Structure 1
Amino acid sequence: MRIQDHRAFDEPEINLVPLIDVILVLIIFFVVTTTFDSRSVMKLQLPQASGEPAEPDQALSVLVNADGRYFVDDREVIRDDLDSLKTTVAEVAGDDRDRPVLLRADARTPHQAVVTAYDALGQLGFKRVMIATAPQQSGAAASGDGGGAAR
Structure 2
Amino acid sequence: MRKHLDDIHVEEDEDEINLTPMLDVVFIMLIFFIVTASFIKESGIDVNRPDAPMTQSTPEESNILVVINGLDEIYIENRIIDPKAVKANITRLHAANPEGSVVIQADRKSTNK
Larger radius of gyration: 2
**TM-score (normalizing by structure 1):** 0.39
Q: Which has the higher helix share?
A: 2
**What TM-score does the superposition give when structure 2 sets the normalisation length?**
0.50
